[in-house]
Amino acid sequence: MTPDILIFAQASASSLDRFLQMLVGGLGIGTIYALLAMGFVIIFKATQVVNFAHGALVALGAFFVAIMAVQYDIPGQWMEGSPAWLTWSLAAMLGITLGGFLGLLLERLFIRPMVGEPLFQIAILTVGLDIVLRTIIDDIAGLDGRPLADPWGVSATKFGNVSITHTQLVQFGVTAFAVAAIALFFRSRTGVAMRATAFDQEAASAQGIKVGRIFGISWFLGAILAGVAGVFASVFPRAAGVSSSTAFVAFGAFPAIILGGLDSVVGAVIGGLIIGIAESAASVYLVQFNDVLGSGFSAIIGYIIMLIVLLVRPYGLFGTEEVRRV
């Protein structure tokens, strides 16, 4: 009797470990989706633009970090003696901010002239932007990719039987900080102005809010969040560097955005985590069904969840229902 129970106990312990490890992996990808979805939703709320170029912003942000941290070593070359994590983080912030300014520039050049045009046309315009930017990234970053040379590398810590890489720990911390910062931002003066603009552009404009500036800020924020996600999508557990495939992480985030509701920041975070954990769970628990489901099923499970949820709740879990009136 006893050995059986022992085996059972061991099996259940290992399956719990497996579950926790799966959860860590799911949060690892889920936080990236959450960051991406948040940026996407901010842009959508403020400007009504569905930004298909978000993937390009992801890759560009990470690419700028690679330039700053690896190629030119700014500001590391003036800060000898300071710890590696500090100089690298500063370089990353610098690179991500550069990405943010690029977002600002894109909005000014391509999106601003389109204010008042049909939303579908603007959405397809961002598809065009995505093609251009991604081709340029492919050319300069190459297929084999550029490493970001983060100071944490492949090191990991074990909690019980569950190992968490240090990059993941940083990632969880940064995501939590970003979510808090965005929540605070929406309480600030500019944030309130952005909410007003999202509610009604003309009315906001009549109240003295510079709607154009709000558009710019939303793209800046969106690009920054995309850049942060891009950095974490191109370091150790996920990839070896920025490459032409970095931008594809955005396609994984679309279900998260829709699941949470296109115009809900809270929904974006929750949707991102759900989709991330679902992907991770599918890759752990559904492997034995590969014959039926096909290999690579975890990559599309997000879309399947999205389809099911949309048929029940057409505006996602937290999206506001569009009031149809004459």
Partner 1 sequence: MRGRPLLYTSYETDQALLNTGTKKLLFFLFVVVLLLLPLGIIPGLGFLAADDWMLTLAEVAIVFIAAIGLNILTGLAGQVSLGHAFFMGIGAYTAAILGAPEGPLWGLGLPIWVWLPAAGVLAALVGVLIAPTSFRVRGLYLAIVTLGLVFIGEHLWRNLEFITGGSQAGRVFPPLELKLWKEETPLIDFSNDGTWFGIELSGHAKTFYLMLVFAIVCGILAQNIQRTRAGRAFQSIRDRDIAAEITGVDEFRYKTIAFMLSSFFAGVSGALLASAFVRLTPENFGLPVSVEIIAVVLIGGAGVVSGMAMGSIFVIVLPLIVLNVTEWTTSVATSGEGFFASIADFFVATGNFDSGFISAIPGSSPGLNVFQMNQVLYGLLIIGFIIFEPLGLYGIWIRIRNYWKGWPFTY
Which residues form the interface with partner 1 (CB under 8 A)? Answer: 50, 110, 113-114, 117, 119-125, 127-132, 135-136, 138-139, 251, 254-255, 257-258, 262, 293-297, 299-300, 303-304, 306-307, 310-311, 314-316, 322, 324-326
What's the closest the beta carbon of residue 136 comes to partner 1, in angstroms?
A: 7
Both structure tokens of 19: 């579950």
Closest to 245 measured CA to CA, from 171, 150, 137: 137
CB 64 within 8 A of CB 98: yes
Distance CA 141, CA 132 (A): 14
What's the closest the beta carbon of residue 114 comes to partner 1, in angstroms?
A: 6
Question: For residue 137, what is the DSSP state?
Answer: H
Q: Which is nearer to partner 1, 206 or 312 (CB)?
A: 312
Both structure tokens of 107: 């909005």
Q: Which is nearer to partner 1, 2 or 288 (CB)?
A: 288
Q: Which is nearer to partner 1, 62 or 129 (CB)?
A: 129
Q: Which is nearer to partner 1, 114 or 169 (CB)?
A: 114
Task: Kindly give the residue spans of alpha helices, DSSP state H, lying in the chain.
Answer: 2-47, 54-66, 84-106, 119-141, 166-185, 189-199, 201-206, 211-233, 249-260, 265-285, 290-293, 301-312
What's the closest the beta carbon of residue 30 comes to partner 1, in angstroms?
A: 18
What's the closest the beta carbon of residue 113 comes to partner 1, in angstroms?
A: 5
Q: Which is nearer to partner 1, 266 or 299 (CB)?
A: 299
> Helix 2-47 and helix 265-285: axis angle, to 10°?
140
Distance CA 305, CA 302 (A): 5
Q: Which is nearer to partner 1, 125 or 225 (CB)?
A: 125
What's the closest the beta carbon of residue 215 comes to partner 1, in angstroms?
A: 16
What's the closest the beta carbon of residue 51 comes to partner 1, in angstroms?
A: 11
Both structure tokens of 281: 């769970």
